[in-house]
Chain A
Amino acid sequence: MGNMKTLRLATLGTAFAALTATTAMASCPIESGSIRILSNEFGALRAVNAAAAECAADGVEVTLNQTTEHRDLQVAALTPTPAEYTSAVVANSSIVPLMNNGLIRPLDDLIAEYAPDLPKLNQVSVGGNVMAIAFMANAQHLYVRTDILEEVGKEIPTTYEEVLDALAAIKDAGIMDHPFAMNSKTGWNLGEEFINMYLGHGGSFFKDGTAEVSINNETGIKTLEMMAALNEYANPDFLTFDSNATGALWESGELAIAYMWGSRGGGILDEEGSTPEIVAATKLVAAPTVDGGDRPASTLWWDGFTISKNISDEDAAATFRAMVHGIGPATVEANQKEAVWLSPAYTPGAAAEGVAATAQAGAAPYPMLPYMGLLHTALGNELSAFLQGQESAEQALADVEAAYSEAAKEQGFLQ
């Protein structure tokens, strides 16, 4: 069983098999330069940063800033010369402002010199230059309660149509009034749900190669209708649901099917906060497809590190080596449960099954476009009126397009 999971994840990248423990490269300790890391604040990143810090010899400056406000600090912090931080830890979406402003450097030389064996799988390249080293994966996917599905005689759903069918059965059987939840809080979360569902419907957000948005179409309307249909089975509070709320609902046994982040799997499957019966019946499966499409309605996310442009080459080399050490097998082995690691040292457990299956089924990565963030914000803000039943899908999508176009004009992407 365990082997099979490893295999599934391994197929993510072809270079996986060729990989040896040399990635860690006995490059520690680092004798000169300075290492200053800005990152988000959660367990897996803390472990990576701590391991990177260990790599520095005495007398080498190490500064860590792990903060939930990292996104708002990073552009200003990396702009001056020398930059406040030598490395910013980012995800597919937060790397974009750093690239838009030219604040991070290509890593090809550093890889050639210090980590020649680093698998392609971990390299995030933009137009041929490696700009970040990814080390973790995440995605939203389905969580199901097998006991409840059995009770109503339904299989684990693989399409949203089946999800609706199962939900109807659960409700009709009088087991739960509100058996479903997704992270649909107005703002970033809701925007993300639209993006996932829209990609599942096979839609594309922009006219090819331009910043011109095109979502007010049949696909967009189908997307919204599916979101509304699903949330018919959600608690009426659903527009306030973030990960903390849906996770708590799941743990207290109020949900039968939910669409949540894979990274929450560890917390949901541990003994704390729930009853053994719920935990035993919880299964993490791939995000469903929708409307006959073949891609799961989800986006794949990576977390990775970048190296600042406005710093000395010495600091860049020191930081690069420290971070490569930080994401090395020792960290991964000691923190198996903290994340879905993109590393051969990772043995995926039950908590990683959903992410692995979603990636395996060919979900798209979250688009790394210079103006995607603007559309995401517009979606998050303008869709709730539709889901509250106060306006039509067409009107909601038209509002999104208007809000996005205005923002894109202000930012110089549209004329």
Chain B
Amino acid sequence: MPHRTFFWFILPSLVAMMLFIFFPIVSVVIQSLYVEHEQVVITSENCGPFGCQTETTVDLEATQELRDAQPLGRFNGLGTYLNRGHLAVQELGKAWSESESFGDFWSKVMNLPFYWALAFTLTYTFVCTPMVLILGLAIALGVNGLPKLLRGPTIFFSLLPMIVTPLIGSLILFWMIDAEGIIGKSLQYLFDDPELSLKASPTLTWITLIIYGIWSSAPFAFVIFYAGLQTVPGETLEAAMIDGASRWERIRYVVIPHLAPLAVFVTLIQLMDNFRVFEPIIGFSAEASAQSLSYLIYNDLRGDIQRFGSAAATSMLTIIGVAILLSPVLIRTWRDFNRKRV
């Protein structure tokens, strides 16, 4: 396709992405390199309905002067990236030199918020992604084998985990898995343990979150694979049948290769979405036992005082993490792309 035509076709998308994603990212990068001005604090007598206290306030005039002198704040370089709340370089070094065993070192690392969040994020990503792919494909094949009349309602019910607003979906599930809820009680009965609570132990909380993740994302993979199955060339299938290929062999040698580009797509999106896992942690009140990188960002931005610089640094680290995760898939896509060019 000539460059000119390409340009006009892509222009609208490009403009939208530049304005609302690219420029904000640039500003996030800049913010992550700066910290706030020194705030001049003075003692003040504060009174209210409950009496008077000697407290402190920010001296606005003095602080304003500092702000005017350096509108962006104080340049901090990569300082924010390396501090305790992020890559914690110093703390890591200290933990390494002071630890007697690897287990000791590991527990010190897991005490650092960024690595603790990273541990859950990676576990979640690497368990959920393959499970979603496999489950989605299996359901798509199963539904495709159903009589046409049944497919519509089946698709609707399969999509429910994705359709019901995550906010409420997880709230209702959270009550269902309560020790006194319907799922919680059933599990207690099943495992014969009246004290079993999915919310109390970190391990069970992780498992709950991961199962929820698979449950809520499987429909995504299912729909894409199902749509892909509709375009499997009939001739090839017939030819394979004539050659005596079993149903399984047809799936293995005709259907799966046909779905491969879609599988790459689903993998990319799932890796990325799972790496940014956030909503289930809030929905299941799992903050005590599981935190993710996105949760750290949320935590920085939702306090009374918003920490933009810190959130910006964690966001950039998230992007870098995603890029590393995706690189194998991308290299594959790159090869495909070059092959197709030829």
Contact = CB atoms under 8 A, between A and B. Distances in A.
State yes or no: do A and B touch (Cβ within 8 Å).
Answer: yes
Contacts of A256: none
Contacts of A415: 38
Contacts of A127: 42, 44-46, 57
Contacts of B299: 187, 377, 381
Interface in B193-251: 195, 197, 199-200, 202
A137 B285 CA distance: 28
Contacts of A369: 55-56
A403 B83 CA distance: 10
Contact of A240 (B50, B53, B199, B305): B199
A156 interface: no
Nearest to A130: B47
A371 to B, nearest CB: 7
Interface in A81-131: 92-94, 96-97, 99-100, 102, 120-128
A57 interface: no
B285 A99 contact: no
B39 A102 contact: no
Given A127-B46, A300-B50, A185 B55 contact: no
Given A124-B47, A127-B44, A365-B50, A97 B304 contact: yes
B89 interface: no
Contacts of B307: 374, 407, 410-411
B48 A410 contact: no
B83 A373 contact: no
B287 interface: yes
A348 to B, nearest CB: 14
Contact of B285 (A185, A211, A412): A185
A393 to B, nearest CB: 14
Contacts of B43: 209
Given A302-B49, A373-B305, A407-B310, A385 B44 contact: no
A146 B45 CA distance: 41
B37 interface: yes
Contact of B58 (A100, A403, A409): A100
Given A391-B111, A399-B111, A413-B41, A376 B303 contact: yes
9 contacts: A72-B306, A92-B48, A120-B47, A127-B45, A342-B49, A365-B48, A365-B51, A403-B84, A406-B85
B187 interface: no
Nearest to A128: B45
A237 interface: yes
A148 B47 CA distance: 40
B35 interface: yes
Nearest to B282: A187
Interface string B16-44: 00000000000000000001111101111
Contacts of A22: none
B129 interface: no
A124 B48 CA distance: 4
Contacts of B83: 406
Given A242-B285, A388-B288, A391-B111, A370 B58 contact: yes
Interface string B169-186: 000000000110000000
Contact of A365 (B53, B199, B302, B306): B53
Contacts of A359: 50
A34 interface: no
A370 B39 contact: yes
Contact of A126 (B36, B57, B74, B309): B57
Contacts, number: 173
B304 A96 contact: yes
Contacts of B57: 99, 126-127, 370
A372 B38 CA distance: 16
B50 A412 contact: no
A237 B302 contact: no
A368 B46 contact: yes
B48 A134 contact: yes
Interface string B60-96: 1000100000000110000010011100000000000
A123 B46 CA distance: 10
Contacts of A102: 60, 64
B306 A75 contact: yes
Contacts of A140: none
Contacts of A363: 50
A368 B113 CA distance: 27
A396 B304 CA distance: 22
A396 to B, nearest CB: 10
Contacts of A94: 304
A125 B306 CA distance: 24
A376 B57 CA distance: 17
A384 B288 contact: yes
B326 interface: no
A140 B64 CA distance: 37
A367 interface: yes
B141 interface: no
A85 to B, nearest CB: 18
B199 A124 contact: no
B50 A12 contact: yes
Interface in A48-95: 71-72, 75, 92-94
A287 B165 CA distance: 39
A384 B289 CA distance: 8
Contacts of B37: 412
B301 interface: yes
B306 A370 contact: no
A3 interface: no
Contacts of B51: 365
A104 B309 CA distance: 24
Contacts of B50: 12, 137, 300, 302, 359, 363-365
